[in-house]
Protein backbone atom coordinates (compact mmCIF):
# COMPACT_ATOMS: atom_id res chain seq x y z
CA UNK A 1 0.00 0.00 0.00
CA UNK A 2 2.58 2.55 -1.05
CA UNK A 3 0.48 4.14 -3.75
CA UNK A 4 -1.60 7.15 -2.78
CA UNK A 5 -4.42 6.08 -5.10
CA UNK A 6 -4.89 2.91 -3.12
CA UNK A 7 -6.06 4.69 0.00
CA UNK A 8 -9.69 3.76 0.58
CA UNK A 9 -10.78 7.26 1.53
CA UNK A 10 -9.54 8.71 -1.74
CA UNK A 11 -12.93 8.46 -3.43
CA UNK A 12 -14.62 10.20 -0.53
CA UNK A 13 -12.20 13.09 -0.92
CA UNK A 14 -12.05 13.29 -4.68
CA UNK A 15 -15.67 12.56 -5.58
CA UNK A 16 -18.07 12.84 -2.66
CA UNK A 17 -21.08 12.53 -4.97
CA UNK A 18 -20.18 9.07 -6.23
CA UNK A 19 -18.92 8.09 -2.78
CA UNK A 20 -22.26 9.03 -1.30
CA UNK A 21 -24.22 7.07 -3.90
CA UNK A 22 -22.15 3.97 -3.13
CA UNK A 23 -22.83 4.46 0.57
CA UNK A 24 -26.57 4.73 -0.12
CA UNK A 25 -26.58 1.57 -2.23
CA UNK A 26 -24.62 -0.22 0.50
CA UNK A 27 -27.38 0.69 2.98
CA UNK A 28 -30.08 -0.40 0.59
CA UNK A 29 -28.41 -3.80 0.20
CA UNK A 30 -27.80 -4.06 3.94
CA UNK A 31 -31.28 -3.23 5.25
CA UNK A 32 -33.48 -5.00 2.74
CA UNK A 33 -34.09 -8.59 1.71
CA UNK A 34 -32.59 -9.31 -1.71
CA UNK A 35 -34.72 -12.00 -3.32
CA UNK A 36 -33.96 -11.49 -7.00
CA UNK A 37 -32.69 -14.99 -7.88
CA UNK A 38 -29.98 -13.70 -10.21
CA UNK A 39 -28.35 -11.53 -7.54
CA UNK A 40 -25.84 -12.37 -4.85
CA UNK A 41 -23.21 -10.75 -2.60
CA UNK A 42 -19.60 -11.37 -3.59
CA UNK A 43 -16.84 -11.89 -1.05
CA UNK A 44 -14.46 -9.13 -0.05
CA UNK A 45 -11.75 -11.04 -1.93
CA UNK A 46 -13.76 -10.86 -5.17
CA UNK A 47 -14.39 -7.15 -4.60
CA UNK A 48 -10.71 -6.54 -4.01
CA UNK A 49 -9.68 -8.28 -7.23
CA UNK A 50 -12.33 -6.33 -9.18
CA UNK A 51 -11.12 -3.05 -7.76
CA UNK A 52 -7.49 -3.72 -8.65
CA UNK A 53 -5.02 -2.13 -11.07
CA UNK A 54 -5.57 -5.03 -13.48
CA UNK A 55 -8.29 -2.80 -14.98
CA UNK A 56 -5.46 -0.72 -16.47
CA UNK A 57 -4.14 -3.45 -18.73
CA UNK A 58 -4.97 -4.09 -22.38
CA UNK A 59 -4.58 -7.76 -23.29
CA UNK A 60 -6.41 -8.45 -26.56
CA UNK A 61 -5.82 -12.00 -27.73
CA UNK A 62 -5.03 -15.15 -25.80
CA UNK A 63 -2.31 -15.70 -23.16
CA UNK A 64 1.11 -15.59 -24.87
CA UNK A 65 -0.57 -14.56 -28.15
CA UNK A 66 -1.49 -10.96 -27.33
CA UNK A 67 -1.63 -7.81 -29.40
CA UNK A 68 -0.01 -5.76 -26.62
CA UNK A 69 3.22 -5.88 -24.64
CA UNK A 70 3.47 -6.15 -20.89
CA UNK A 71 1.03 -9.03 -20.62
CA UNK A 72 3.28 -11.45 -18.72
CA UNK A 73 1.41 -11.02 -15.44
CA UNK A 74 -2.11 -10.92 -16.83
CA UNK A 75 -1.29 -14.02 -18.91
CA UNK A 76 -0.83 -15.85 -15.64
CA UNK A 77 -4.06 -14.40 -14.29
CA UNK A 78 -6.05 -15.64 -17.28
CA UNK A 79 -4.35 -19.06 -17.29
CA UNK A 80 -5.22 -19.45 -13.62
CA UNK A 81 -8.86 -18.49 -14.17
CA UNK A 82 -9.16 -20.92 -17.10
CA UNK A 83 -7.50 -23.78 -15.23
CA UNK A 84 -9.78 -23.25 -12.24
CA UNK A 85 -12.92 -23.04 -14.40
CA UNK A 86 -12.02 -26.32 -16.13
CA UNK A 87 -11.24 -28.08 -12.88
CA UNK A 88 -14.34 -26.76 -11.08
CA UNK A 89 -16.72 -28.02 -13.77
CA UNK A 90 -14.66 -30.90 -15.15
CA UNK A 91 -14.59 -29.29 -18.60
CA UNK A 92 -12.02 -29.71 -21.40
CA UNK A 93 -11.91 -26.06 -22.43
CA UNK A 94 -12.75 -22.67 -20.96
CA UNK A 95 -12.90 -19.12 -22.28
CA UNK A 96 -13.15 -16.66 -19.38
CA UNK A 97 -13.20 -13.46 -21.45
CA UNK A 98 -16.94 -12.83 -22.04
CA UNK A 99 -17.96 -9.61 -20.31
CA UNK A 100 -21.39 -10.99 -19.41
CA UNK A 101 -23.75 -13.93 -19.80
CA UNK A 102 -25.35 -12.28 -22.84
CA UNK A 103 -21.90 -11.83 -24.42
CA UNK A 104 -21.09 -15.51 -23.81
CA UNK A 105 -24.27 -16.55 -25.60
CA UNK A 106 -23.66 -14.15 -28.45
CA UNK A 107 -20.21 -15.71 -28.91
CA UNK A 108 -21.75 -19.17 -29.25
CA UNK A 109 -24.16 -17.92 -31.93
CA UNK A 110 -21.23 -16.25 -33.69
CA UNK A 111 -19.10 -19.41 -33.40
CA UNK A 112 -21.67 -21.90 -34.68
CA UNK A 113 -24.02 -20.07 -37.03
CA UNK A 114 -24.38 -17.82 -40.01
CA UNK A 115 -27.13 -15.20 -39.95
CA UNK A 116 -30.43 -16.80 -40.93
CA UNK A 117 -29.51 -20.26 -39.58
CA UNK A 118 -32.05 -22.11 -37.45
CA UNK A 119 -31.68 -22.58 -33.68
CA UNK A 120 -33.96 -23.80 -30.92
CA UNK A 121 -34.32 -22.12 -27.54
CA UNK A 122 -36.81 -21.86 -24.71
CA UNK A 123 -39.59 -19.27 -24.91
CA UNK A 124 -38.90 -16.16 -22.87
CA UNK A 125 -42.44 -16.09 -21.46
CA UNK A 126 -42.06 -19.66 -20.20
CA UNK A 127 -38.72 -19.23 -18.47
CA UNK A 128 -36.12 -18.88 -21.24
CA UNK A 129 -33.68 -15.98 -21.65
CA UNK A 130 -33.78 -13.02 -24.05
CA UNK A 131 -30.56 -14.24 -25.67
CA UNK A 132 -32.11 -17.62 -26.53
CA UNK A 133 -34.04 -16.19 -29.45
CA UNK A 134 -36.37 -13.44 -28.30
CA UNK A 135 -37.48 -11.28 -31.27
CA UNK A 136 -36.24 -8.11 -29.51
CA UNK A 137 -32.73 -9.55 -29.05
CA UNK A 138 -29.88 -10.09 -31.56
CA UNK A 139 -30.57 -13.82 -31.28
CA UNK A 140 -34.10 -13.46 -32.58
CA UNK A 141 -33.30 -10.74 -35.12
CA UNK A 142 -30.47 -12.38 -37.03
CA UNK A 143 -31.31 -16.06 -36.68
CA UNK A 144 -34.32 -18.22 -37.40
CA UNK A 145 -35.55 -19.22 -33.96
CA UNK A 146 -37.84 -22.10 -33.13
CA UNK A 147 -39.00 -21.91 -29.52
CA UNK A 148 -40.10 -24.66 -27.17
CA UNK A 149 -41.99 -24.11 -23.92
CA UNK A 150 -43.35 -26.08 -21.01
CA UNK A 151 -46.38 -28.37 -20.74
CA UNK A 152 -49.59 -26.77 -19.53
CA UNK A 153 -50.38 -29.71 -17.22
CA UNK A 154 -47.26 -29.64 -15.02
CA UNK A 155 -45.15 -26.69 -16.29
CA UNK A 156 -42.24 -28.97 -17.12
CA UNK A 157 -40.19 -29.05 -20.33
CA UNK A 158 -41.75 -31.60 -22.64
CA UNK A 159 -39.35 -33.97 -24.40
CA UNK A 160 -41.95 -34.78 -27.06
CA UNK A 161 -42.37 -31.11 -27.98
CA UNK A 162 -38.59 -30.52 -28.08
CA UNK A 163 -38.02 -33.60 -30.24
CA UNK A 164 -40.92 -32.94 -32.63
CA UNK A 165 -39.76 -29.35 -33.21
CA UNK A 166 -36.17 -30.47 -33.71
CA UNK A 167 -37.13 -33.15 -36.23
CA UNK A 168 -39.31 -30.69 -38.12
CA UNK A 169 -36.97 -27.66 -38.16
CA UNK A 170 -33.48 -29.25 -38.04
CA UNK A 171 -31.74 -26.56 -35.94
CA UNK A 172 -27.95 -26.14 -35.97
CA UNK A 173 -27.98 -26.00 -32.19
CA UNK A 174 -30.46 -26.40 -29.38
CA UNK A 175 -29.93 -24.23 -26.34
CA UNK A 176 -31.33 -25.24 -22.96
CA UNK A 177 -31.09 -23.41 -19.65
CA UNK A 178 -33.43 -20.82 -18.26
CA UNK A 179 -33.92 -17.79 -16.10
CA UNK A 180 -37.22 -18.78 -14.54
CA UNK A 181 -37.34 -22.58 -14.44
CA UNK A 182 -36.99 -24.10 -10.99
CA UNK A 183 -36.77 -27.79 -11.83
CA UNK A 184 -33.91 -29.99 -12.99
CA UNK A 185 -33.16 -29.63 -16.69
CA UNK A 186 -32.64 -32.97 -18.41
CA UNK A 187 -29.37 -32.18 -20.20
CA UNK A 188 -29.01 -35.79 -21.42
CA UNK A 189 -32.38 -35.51 -23.16
CA UNK A 190 -31.31 -32.31 -24.96
CA UNK A 191 -28.12 -34.01 -26.14
CA UNK A 192 -30.08 -37.05 -27.33
CA UNK A 193 -32.45 -34.91 -29.38
CA UNK A 194 -29.58 -32.76 -30.70
CA UNK A 195 -27.69 -35.89 -31.81
CA UNK A 196 -30.76 -37.20 -33.57
CA UNK A 197 -30.92 -34.15 -35.83
CA UNK A 198 -27.18 -33.45 -36.11
CA UNK A 199 -27.35 -30.34 -33.90
CA UNK A 200 -25.03 -29.16 -31.14
CA UNK A 201 -26.40 -29.23 -27.58
CA UNK A 202 -25.70 -25.96 -25.77
CA UNK A 203 -26.54 -25.44 -22.08
CA UNK A 204 -26.75 -21.98 -20.52
CA UNK A 205 -26.29 -22.48 -16.77
CA UNK A 206 -26.15 -18.76 -15.90
CA UNK A 207 -28.56 -19.34 -13.03
CA UNK A 208 -27.52 -22.78 -11.84
CA UNK A 209 -23.70 -22.53 -12.14
CA UNK A 210 -22.99 -22.36 -8.40
CA UNK A 211 -25.32 -25.28 -7.74
CA UNK A 212 -23.72 -27.27 -10.56
CA UNK A 213 -20.21 -26.48 -9.29
CA UNK A 214 -21.22 -27.71 -5.83
CA UNK A 215 -22.79 -30.89 -7.23
CA UNK A 216 -26.29 -30.13 -5.96
CA UNK A 217 -27.84 -29.60 -9.41
CA UNK A 218 -27.21 -31.85 -12.46
CA UNK A 219 -24.19 -30.91 -14.56
CA UNK A 220 -24.51 -30.49 -18.32
CA UNK A 221 -20.77 -31.07 -18.80
CA UNK A 222 -21.04 -34.83 -19.51
CA UNK A 223 -23.80 -34.16 -22.06
CA UNK A 224 -23.71 -30.80 -23.80
CA UNK A 225 -20.84 -29.87 -26.11
CA UNK A 226 -20.91 -26.18 -25.15
CA UNK A 227 -21.88 -24.51 -21.88
CA UNK A 228 -22.31 -20.81 -21.24
CA UNK A 229 -22.71 -19.14 -17.88
CA UNK A 230 -22.56 -16.02 -15.82
CA UNK A 231 -20.21 -15.86 -12.83
CA UNK A 232 -22.36 -13.58 -10.67
CA UNK A 233 -25.55 -15.49 -9.90
CA UNK A 234 -25.45 -18.63 -7.73
CA UNK A 235 -21.71 -18.90 -8.44
CA UNK A 236 -21.20 -15.66 -6.45
CA UNK A 237 -18.42 -14.21 -8.56
CA UNK A 238 -17.96 -10.89 -10.37
CA UNK A 239 -20.54 -9.63 -12.90
CA UNK A 240 -19.37 -11.44 -16.05
CA UNK A 241 -19.63 -14.57 -18.18
CA UNK A 242 -17.60 -17.57 -19.33
CA UNK A 243 -17.85 -20.47 -21.76
CA UNK A 244 -16.94 -24.15 -21.29
CA UNK A 245 -16.74 -26.60 -24.16
CA UNK A 246 -15.42 -29.81 -25.54
CA UNK A 247 -11.95 -29.29 -27.00
CA UNK A 248 -13.15 -29.48 -30.60
CA UNK A 249 -15.02 -26.17 -30.23
CA UNK A 250 -12.11 -24.26 -28.65
CA UNK A 251 -10.87 -22.46 -31.76
CA UNK A 252 -14.28 -21.37 -33.00
CA UNK A 253 -15.26 -20.05 -29.57
CA UNK A 254 -11.99 -18.20 -28.98
CA UNK A 255 -12.28 -16.54 -32.40
CA UNK A 256 -15.91 -15.58 -31.84
CA UNK A 257 -15.15 -13.88 -28.50
CA UNK A 258 -12.13 -12.06 -29.90
CA UNK A 259 -11.83 -10.66 -32.54
CA UNK A 260 -15.42 -11.62 -33.43
CA UNK A 261 -17.21 -9.63 -30.77
CA UNK A 262 -15.13 -8.15 -27.98
CA UNK A 263 -12.09 -5.97 -27.65
CA UNK A 264 -9.79 -6.07 -24.64
CA UNK A 265 -10.68 -8.56 -21.92
CA UNK A 266 -11.43 -7.11 -18.48
CA UNK A 267 -8.44 -8.50 -16.64
CA UNK A 268 -9.60 -7.25 -13.22
CA UNK A 269 -12.85 -9.17 -13.67
CA UNK A 270 -11.00 -12.24 -14.93
CA UNK A 271 -8.87 -12.14 -11.76
CA UNK A 272 -12.07 -11.90 -9.71
CA UNK A 273 -13.49 -14.88 -11.63
CA UNK A 274 -10.38 -16.87 -10.67
CA UNK A 275 -10.99 -15.93 -7.02
CA UNK A 276 -14.65 -16.98 -7.23
CA UNK A 277 -13.79 -20.30 -8.91
CA UNK A 278 -11.39 -21.07 -6.08
CA UNK A 279 -14.02 -20.15 -3.49
CA UNK A 280 -16.48 -22.47 -5.21
CA UNK A 281 -14.02 -25.37 -4.85
CA UNK A 282 -14.05 -25.13 -1.05
CA UNK A 283 -16.16 -27.50 1.07
CA UNK A 284 -17.91 -24.42 2.55
CA UNK A 285 -19.31 -23.61 -0.89
CA UNK A 286 -21.02 -26.99 -1.08
CA UNK A 287 -22.59 -26.28 2.31
CA UNK A 288 -23.69 -22.89 0.95
CA UNK A 289 -25.20 -24.35 -2.24
CA UNK A 290 -27.01 -27.06 -0.28
CA UNK A 291 -28.46 -24.37 2.00
CA UNK A 292 -29.64 -22.31 -1.01
CA UNK A 293 -31.85 -25.20 -2.12
CA UNK A 294 -33.04 -26.04 1.42
CA UNK A 295 -33.99 -22.40 1.85
CA UNK A 296 -35.81 -22.29 -1.50
CA UNK A 297 -37.79 -25.39 -0.52
CA UNK A 298 -38.64 -23.91 2.90
CA UNK A 299 -39.73 -20.62 1.32
CA UNK A 300 -41.83 -22.41 -1.27
CA UNK A 301 -43.47 -24.61 1.41
CA UNK A 302 -44.14 -21.54 3.56
CA UNK A 303 -45.78 -19.68 0.69
CA UNK A 304 -47.89 -22.72 -0.20
CA UNK A 305 -49.04 -22.94 3.45
CA UNK A 306 -50.29 -19.35 3.13
CA UNK A 307 -52.34 -20.21 0.06
CA UNK A 308 -49.96 -19.11 -2.72
CA UNK A 309 -49.45 -21.32 -5.76
CA UNK A 310 -45.92 -22.11 -6.91
CA UNK A 311 -45.46 -22.86 -10.61
CA UNK A 312 -44.77 -26.62 -11.01
CA UNK A 313 -45.60 -27.06 -7.31
CA UNK A 314 -42.18 -26.31 -5.86
CA UNK A 315 -38.49 -26.11 -6.70
CA UNK A 316 -35.35 -28.22 -7.18
CA UNK A 317 -33.07 -25.18 -7.21
CA UNK A 318 -32.60 -21.65 -5.90
CA UNK A 319 -35.52 -20.10 -7.74
CA UNK A 320 -39.32 -20.28 -7.77
CA UNK A 321 -42.16 -18.61 -9.59
CA UNK A 322 -45.10 -17.61 -7.42
CA UNK A 323 -48.44 -17.46 -9.24
CA UNK A 324 -50.09 -14.46 -7.53
CA UNK A 325 -53.54 -14.97 -9.02
CA UNK A 326 -54.88 -16.81 -5.95
CA UNK A 327 -54.11 -13.65 -3.94
CA UNK A 328 -55.96 -11.52 -6.52
CA UNK A 329 -52.97 -9.33 -7.22
CA UNK A 330 -50.86 -9.20 -10.39
CA UNK A 331 -47.08 -9.49 -10.59
CA UNK A 332 -46.47 -5.78 -11.05
CA UNK A 333 -48.56 -4.83 -8.01
CA UNK A 334 -47.01 -7.61 -5.92
CA UNK A 335 -43.48 -6.44 -6.80
CA UNK A 336 -44.43 -2.91 -5.67
CA UNK A 337 -45.97 -4.11 -2.37
CA UNK A 338 -42.94 -6.24 -1.54
CA UNK A 339 -40.69 -3.32 -2.39
CA UNK A 340 -42.53 -1.15 0.14
CA UNK A 341 -41.63 -3.53 2.96
CA UNK A 342 -38.01 -3.86 1.80
CA UNK A 343 -38.26 -7.17 -0.06
CA UNK A 344 -36.72 -6.86 -3.52
CA UNK A 345 -37.94 -9.28 -6.20
CA UNK A 346 -39.20 -9.08 -9.76
CA UNK A 347 -42.52 -9.55 -11.48
CA UNK A 348 -42.50 -12.34 -14.00
CA UNK A 349 -44.82 -13.99 -16.47
CA UNK A 350 -45.94 -17.48 -15.54
CA UNK A 351 -46.40 -20.15 -18.23
CA UNK A 352 -49.58 -19.49 -20.28
CA UNK A 353 -49.88 -16.09 -18.60
CA UNK A 354 -53.01 -14.12 -19.48
CA UNK A 355 -51.18 -10.87 -18.53
CA UNK A 356 -48.67 -9.01 -20.74
CA UNK A 357 -44.97 -9.21 -19.72
CA UNK A 358 -44.93 -5.72 -18.17
CA UNK A 359 -47.65 -6.79 -15.73
CA UNK A 360 -47.27 -10.57 -15.37
CA UNK A 361 -49.22 -12.87 -13.06
CA UNK A 362 -46.23 -13.94 -11.00
CA UNK A 363 -43.17 -12.94 -9.07
CA UNK A 364 -39.83 -14.69 -9.27
CA UNK A 365 -38.07 -15.31 -5.98
CA UNK A 366 -34.65 -16.71 -5.17
CA UNK A 367 -32.59 -17.55 -2.09
CA UNK A 368 -28.89 -17.22 -3.14
CA UNK A 369 -28.36 -13.72 -1.72
CA UNK A 370 -30.17 -14.31 1.59
CA UNK A 371 -28.30 -17.60 2.03
CA UNK A 372 -25.00 -15.76 1.57
CA UNK A 373 -26.01 -13.57 4.51
CA UNK A 374 -26.39 -16.70 6.62
CA UNK A 375 -30.17 -16.95 6.71
CA UNK A 376 -31.70 -20.40 7.08
CA UNK A 377 -35.02 -22.18 6.85
CA UNK A 378 -36.59 -20.50 9.88
CA UNK A 379 -35.94 -17.07 8.35
CA UNK A 380 -37.53 -18.34 5.11
CA UNK A 381 -40.66 -19.29 7.05
CA UNK A 382 -40.73 -15.78 8.53
CA UNK A 383 -40.27 -14.22 5.08
CA UNK A 384 -43.15 -16.28 3.63
CA UNK A 385 -45.36 -14.91 6.43
CA UNK A 386 -44.13 -11.34 5.83
CA UNK A 387 -45.01 -11.68 2.14
CA UNK A 388 -48.48 -12.98 2.95
CA UNK A 389 -49.05 -10.13 5.44
CA UNK A 390 -47.85 -7.55 2.91
CA UNK A 391 -50.20 -8.80 0.21
CA UNK A 392 -53.14 -8.98 2.61
CA UNK A 393 -52.48 -5.50 4.06
CA UNK A 394 -51.55 -3.79 0.83
CA UNK A 395 -53.99 -0.93 1.41
CA UNK A 396 -52.89 -0.37 5.02
CA UNK A 397 -49.96 2.06 5.21
CA UNK A 398 -49.41 1.66 8.95
CA UNK A 399 -49.27 -2.13 8.71
CA UNK A 400 -46.87 -1.95 5.75
CA UNK A 401 -44.62 0.38 7.77
CA UNK A 402 -44.52 -2.08 10.64
CA UNK A 403 -43.70 -4.93 8.23
CA UNK A 404 -40.88 -2.73 6.85
CA UNK A 405 -39.54 -2.47 10.40
CA UNK A 406 -39.67 -6.25 10.78
CA UNK A 407 -37.69 -6.66 7.55
CA UNK A 408 -35.13 -4.14 8.78
CA UNK A 409 -34.78 -6.00 12.08
CA UNK A 410 -34.33 -9.32 10.31
CA UNK A 411 -31.67 -7.93 7.98
CA UNK A 412 -29.85 -6.30 10.92
CA UNK A 413 -29.39 -9.75 12.45
CA UNK A 414 -27.47 -10.90 9.34
CA UNK A 415 -24.92 -8.16 8.56
CA UNK A 416 -23.91 -8.06 4.93
CA UNK A 417 -20.31 -6.92 5.14
CA UNK A 418 -18.84 -6.09 8.48
CA UNK A 419 -17.05 -3.15 6.93
CA UNK A 420 -18.33 -0.38 4.68
CA UNK A 421 -17.91 -1.37 1.06
CA UNK A 422 -15.34 1.30 0.30
C1 LIG B 1 -28.74 -13.84 -16.51
C2 LIG B 1 -28.77 -14.69 -17.69
C3 LIG B 1 -28.03 -14.37 -18.84
C4 LIG B 1 -27.38 -13.02 -19.05
O5 LIG B 1 -26.44 -12.64 -18.19
P6 LIG B 1 -25.94 -11.10 -18.21
O7 LIG B 1 -24.63 -11.18 -17.49
O8 LIG B 1 -26.99 -10.31 -17.53
O9 LIG B 1 -25.77 -10.69 -19.63
C10 LIG B 1 -28.00 -15.28 -19.87
N11 LIG B 1 -28.67 -16.43 -19.80
C12 LIG B 1 -29.43 -16.76 -18.73
C13 LIG B 1 -30.15 -18.06 -18.72
C14 LIG B 1 -29.50 -15.90 -17.65
O15 LIG B 1 -30.26 -16.23 -16.61
Strand 362-366 with 346-348, pairing = antiparallel
**With a 6 A CB cut-off, is 38 part of the ligand 1 pocket?**
yes
Residue 243 backbone dihedrals phi, psi, to 5 degrees: -130, 135
Which residues form the domain of 362?
286-421
271 and 406 co-located in one domain: no
251 and 307 co-located in one domain: no
**With a 6 A CB cut-off, is 107 part of the ligand 1 pocket?**
no
323 and 388 co-located in one domain: yes
Which of the residues in the chain have pLDDT under 50?
1-2, 420-422
**With a 6 A CB cut-off, is 211 part of the ligand 1 pocket?**
no
Q: What is the pLDDT of residue 420?
A: 43
**With a 6 A CB cut-off, is 241 part of the ligand 1 pocket?**
yes
Closest CA to 42 of 53, 24, 29: 29
* Residues carrying an active site annotation: 58, 60, 204, 230, 233, 239
Does any domain span residue 173? yes
pTM for this entry: 0.96
Q: Indicate which residue's Cα is closest to atom 3 of ligand 1.
A: 101
Q: What is the pLDDT of residue 7?
A: 52
The 8-class DSSP code of residue 416 comes to S
Q: What is the pLDDT of residue 421?
A: 39
**With a 6 A CB cut-off, is 206 part of the ligand 1 pocket?**
yes
Total domains in the fold of the chain: 2
318 and 264 co-located in one domain: no
Does any domain span residue 137? yes
* Residue 229 CB partners (closer than 8 Å, separation 6+): 101, 104, 204, 205, 206, 209, 235, 241, 242, 243, 244
Q: Indicate which residue's Cα is closest to atom 5 of ligand 1.
A: 101
Q: Indicate which residue's Cα is closest to atom 10 of ligand 1.
A: 101
Among 36, 99, 100, 102, residue to substitute to test ligand 1 (most atoms within 8 Å of Cβ):
102
Does any domain span residue 329? yes
Q: What is the pLDDT of residue 418?
A: 62
Does any domain span residue 359? yes
- Backbone region of residue 116 per phi and psi (left: phi > 0; alpha: psi in -120 to 50; beta: other values): left
Residue 172: CB atoms within 10 A of its CB come to: 19
232 and 127 co-located in one domain: yes
Query: What CATH number is given to the structural domain containing 58?
Result: 3.40.640.10
CA distance 19 to 374: 28
Amino acid sequence: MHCKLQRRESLKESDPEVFDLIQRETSRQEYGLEMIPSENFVSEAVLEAMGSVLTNKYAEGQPRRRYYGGCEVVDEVEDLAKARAKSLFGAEFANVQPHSGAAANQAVFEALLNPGDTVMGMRLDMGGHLTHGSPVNFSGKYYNVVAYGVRESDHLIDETEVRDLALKHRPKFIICGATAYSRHIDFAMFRRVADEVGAVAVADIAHYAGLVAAGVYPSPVPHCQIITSTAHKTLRGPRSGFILAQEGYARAINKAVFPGLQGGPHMHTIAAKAVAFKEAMQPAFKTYATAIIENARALSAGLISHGFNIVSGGTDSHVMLVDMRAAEINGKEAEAVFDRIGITCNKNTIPFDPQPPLVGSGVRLGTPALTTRGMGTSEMTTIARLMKDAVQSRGDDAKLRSLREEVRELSRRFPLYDYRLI
